[in-house]
Amino acid sequence: MPEAAHGRPRPPAASRPGVAALALLLLPLTAACAGRAPSTGDPPGAATVERVVDGDTIVVDLGGRSERVRLIGIDTPESVDPRRSVECFGREAAAFTASLLPAGTPVRLVRDVEARDRYDRLLAYVYRQPDGLFVNAELARQGYALPLTIPPNVAHGDELRALAAEARDVGRGLWAACPDAAAG
């Protein structure tokens, strides 16, 4: 039995009422913060693509729930916003995302600091399984997305900016097709 600072034996944490009560209180909170029920058997962030909305938004099945996911760190031209006209390379960006993530594709979602945006979409870096392709980065690398870093979600900001700059420098994707892309 561990000893307390004053030399007397201290009961294990599980037998101390305060610690046990705290653990019971935190268990549902932890599960709620993770956005899924505990012990589903799936790895954290495991989801399945249901459909692609546009170049930077997908719908996934996450623990039996349908969730809209906004790929963070990038911005693709608009292709479905009813308040705006389709932007240069918007349809191409959406089609490229759909080619990377057809319905039924298993993905791993990785959060940054904020869980959701103002439209209540999950914010995530998306990794295609089983090959681990970092989808956000691939969109920037191939010239289908501009970098968009919105603090505090900055974990991959430098990487995504570098990939987009490389695509711009070689005239890949929207950088060749859209004269105003650099102003975007």
Distance between CA atoms of residues 176 and 168, nearest Å: 8
For this structure, is 78 an active site residue? yes
DSSP string across 130-155? TT--BHHHHHHHTTS-EEE-BTTB-T
Is residue 166 within 8 A of residue 149, CB to CB? The reply is no
For this structure, is 111 an active site residue? no
Catalytic residue among 67, 78, 87, 92: 78
Pairing of strands 73-75, 46-54: unpaired
For this structure, is 91 an active site residue? no
Question: Nearest to residue 68, comparing CAs of 29, 108, 27, 119?
Answer: 119
Catalytic residue among 36, 50, 67, 70: 70
Catalytic residue among 36, 108, 111, 121: 121
Count of C-beta atoms within a 10 Å radius of residue 118: 5
Q: Which residues are catalytic?
A: 70, 78, 121
